[in-house]
Amino acid sequence: MNGLAAEAKRPRRIVLIRHGESAYNKARAGNPYFLTEESVEPVKGIPDHNIALTSDGRRQATATGTALAKLFPHFDVLYHSNYRRTIETAELILAAYSPAERTTIRVRGDDRLRERNVGYGFHMTKTEIDAYFPFYQDYCQTTGYFRTIPPGGESQAAVCDRVFMSIGRWFDNYAGRSVAVVAHEGTIRAVRYNLEKWSADKYEAALAQHGHNCGIWVYEFSTETKRLELTIENHCYYPIHV
């Protein structure tokens, strides 16, 4: 164990990994809302926690695992959110490690790393949301997107609060050690909010910066600042087609 890192009561490394492309990602095609009722059909009726990876998502996770196994031959623990798409991503990443290496990596599910609950509008199109909740946009602008609570859902601030509890577990149990986390875009943003001490304004500005599926963010403990410093941001280890 790195003595300075243990003294600082922080992991020496945290690697955040967004899950591979899911059926929900593919259905929305990069849009903030479903555009048509037809686009909802592939995922309609499937609970959010049970949405699977696409074939592209599985390829992304496999390529990411191959790269991570070379960069980081060992993690002390790998957390996932208990959602199917993060579990599948984690399994495909771990498949790149040797059987001996895998026996030394603890795998833990943590519901506090789950995706944000966006409420009743989860499977709605933008037209439907505007029709059922005509007050919503004015409410967002008045309250601020960080603190807005969507009907039936939770605010971005609430996600940051529950993720803060997960980070505390990493700090308490894995000081001076290496932690991997397979999670969701919103969860990763919440980790960044806490680790990098963002303001609400900076968080809202970051909403326009989308993370790649299977993108990774790496924090390394600095002996100079005594903090975890971001060294890799939203990097992919597979070809990105734009």
Dmax (CA) of the chain? 58
Confidence band (pLDDT; 50, 70, 90) for 4? low
Confidence band (pLDDT; 50, 70, 90) for 186? very high
Domains in the chain: ranges and CATH: 3-26+53-118+154-235 (3.40.50.1240)
Structure confidence at residue 240 (pLDDT): 78
Structure confidence at residue 77 (pLDDT): 98
Tokens 């308490």 label which residue? 172
Please tell me the distance from the alpha carbon of residue 140 to that of residue 16, in angstroms, as a whole number: 29
Q: Answer yes or no: is pLDDT of 224 > 80.
A: yes
Mean pLDDT of 147-175: 97
Please tell me the distance from the alpha carbon of residue 30 to that of residue 3, in angstroms, as a whole number: 44
Whole-angstrom CA distances from 32 to 123, 151, 180, 210 are 12, 17, 28, 11
Strands in the chain per DSSP E: 13-18, 77-80, 106-109, 178-183, 216-221, 228-235
Q: Which amino acid is at 50?
A: N
Judge if pTM exceeds 0.75.
Answer: yes
What percentage of the chain carries pLDDT values higher than 70? 96
Mean pLDDT of 53-73: 97
